[in-house]
Amino acid sequence: MFWWRERIEPSGAEYGVEWAITDRRGGSSQEPFDELNLARHVGDLDEAVTTNRHRLAHELGLRLADLRFMDQVHGCDVAVTPGTGEAEPTEDAVPPSVDGLISGRTDEALVVMVADCVPVLLVDRVEGFVAAVHAGRPGMVSGVVPATLARMRELGARDLEALVGPSVCGRCYEVPADMRDAAAAVEPVSAAVTWTGTPAIDLASGVVEQLVREGVSVRWLPGCTKEDPDLYSYRRDGQTGRFVGVVRLLERERVA
């Protein structure tokens, strides 16, 4: 189920965090979505996706209703979950059409779905905020990561850490030359070439550059989705599922 997982317990006045990257193992989906597809929009059976999401929630010690997904649209809009900051609690369970989602609550987990794009998980363990960001090529170019950081800081975050999960690497993300040039005009470090010397984009390098420039402490997990059969890759397989990055804030220790 988990390609990578870490839990940092609360310590003193600091919140804890649990964050993870899933793989495609241990689910109920059939080919071509086998096995742990967590996306409803790719053509998989709805009951299989629901079962898979239940399994993820159970592993995190949560209910299915506590998982917060986005309706990802390859943009740079950011939302705050109900009950965080000025956002009022609501029973509306419709995922917001955004690519960045922020929470200051400890009773929910934020989820970003990917199959080549860059999953970015953020936490401020001092002020108590987490975020999940979907950074595809359009999102990297339009600035969804800086937009999420700016919104978190408006809410009061100040000591941010980032986990950058696996995505398609620059050697495997072949694009037309003009598309590479457009990305490089925003983040020069993203310009790349494939194994065969054709134009390509290194999405993760561009995203990491944005995080570093914003003063965020970054941990970048190695791995290419197209090269790793344990991860979903649209570039490799076409019709396929989605793995996720998931992050949850853990409540601070109670002081007597």
pLDDT for 89 equals 43
pLDDT for 256 equals 52
Instruction: Specify the number of domains making up the chain.
Output: 1
The residues facing 201 across adjacent strands are: 191
Return the structure tokens found at 133: 């960001």
Q: What is the pLDDT of residues 79-124, one digit of tens each?
A: 999 887 655 444 446 899 999 999 999 999 999 999 999 999 999 9
What's the one-letter identity of residue 141?
V
Q: What is the pLDDT of residues 28-53, one digit of tens each?
A: 999 999 999 999 999 999 999 999 99
Q: Is residue 256 in some structural domain?
A: no
Q: Is residue 255 in some structural domain?
A: no
Percent residues over pLDDT 70 in the chain: 96
Q: Is residue 201 in some structural domain?
A: yes
Q: Is residue 219 in some structural domain?
A: yes
CATH code where residue 69 lies = 3.60.140.10
Order of strands, edge to edge, in the sheet holding 109-114?
2-8, 16-22, 243-250, 109-114, 67-68
User: What does the CA dihedral 82, 245, 175, 194 come to, rounded to 10 degrees?
Assistant: 160
Q: Residue 161: enclosing H or E segment and its boundaries?
A: strand 161-164
Closest CA to 144 of 118, 169, 114: 118
What are the distances in angstroms from CA 71 to CA 28, 97, 99, 122, 147?
22, 4, 8, 19, 17
User: What does the CA dihedral 232, 178, 121, 109 come to, rounded to 10 degrees?
Assistant: -60
Mean pLDDT over the full length of the chain = 95
Q: What is the pLDDT of residues 148-201, one digit of tens each?
A: 999 999 999 999 999 999 999 999 999 999 999 999 999 999 999 999 999 999
Would the pTM of this model clear 0.85, i.e. be above it? yes
Q: Is residue 65 in some structural domain?
A: yes
Range of the domain at 145: 2-250
